[in-house]
Chain A
Amino acid sequence: DARVTQTPRHKVTEMGQEVTMRCQPILGHNTVFWYRQTMMQGLELLAYFRNRAPLDDSGMPKDRFSAEMPDATLATLKIQPSEPRDSAVYFCASGPVGGYQETQYFGPGTRLLVL
């Protein structure tokens, strides 16, 4: 049963520190999404990639957040510098694209706490 994996699962850091979150999409999936989940905002789309190219990052604060896909098996989301308001669960999701294949499969998430 192929699954999206994310590391780390939990991260506690201090304000101002850099945070890097990693995602390994399901093998063969060519679309990767980054979401942020908080109690107040639900599931927010931050950015997404197809075939490693960024398609939309309009949901992401550009001054401190950056997302990349160095290769087909790794997506990263960085926050620099981190702030307490960034505390949330960050989910990565991947999906196959082609025909009617819009289904997205979520990773377990990275729970981030910025003190």
Chain B
Amino acid sequence: GENVEQHPSTLSVQEGDSAVIKCTYSDSASNYFPWYKQELGKRPQLIIDIRSNVGEKKDQRIAVTLNKTAKHFSLHITETQPEDSAVYFCAASRMDSSYKLIFGSGTRLLVRP
């Protein structure tokens, strides 16, 4: 069945350093890849997404890269700040009638001041 694997499960970085979270998907028909950030006790919030017709997308300090051949995509956060501390979820979906998101298991990011 469809599956998304996410690594690492926890990540601790020093403020100002970069953080990278990686996801691998199994369904080769997947063509939409969002990333959600979930702060403690809050709802998951979309922070960036990428579609299969592009290889990279940036939004200020965050970027996502996609390698369709290898079926993996990554979230890059540069110049990390303490407020980046949260759980990050990747997801994959195919652009068909289902529109179902398959989520990774989450990465708990801690940015140390």
Contacts and interface: CB of A to CB of B under 8 A. Distances in A.
Nearest to B99: A102
A43 B103 CA distance: 7
Contacts, number: 47
Contacts of A43: 44, 89, 103, 106
A45 B103 CA distance: 9
A102 B43 contact: no
B51 interface: yes
DSSP majority for the A interface?
strand
Contacts of A31: 99
Interface stretch (A18-26, A66-74, A103-111): A103-111
B46 A103 contact: yes
B42 interface: yes
A14 interface: no
Nearest to B103: A43
A108 B39 CA distance: 11
A105 B89 contact: no
A102 B95 contact: yes
A106 B32 CA distance: 17
B45 interface: yes
B44 A91 contact: yes
B44 A106 contact: yes
A42 interface: yes
A50 B97 CA distance: 10
Interface of B: 32, 34, 36, 42-46, 49, 51, 89, 93, 95, 98-101, 103-106
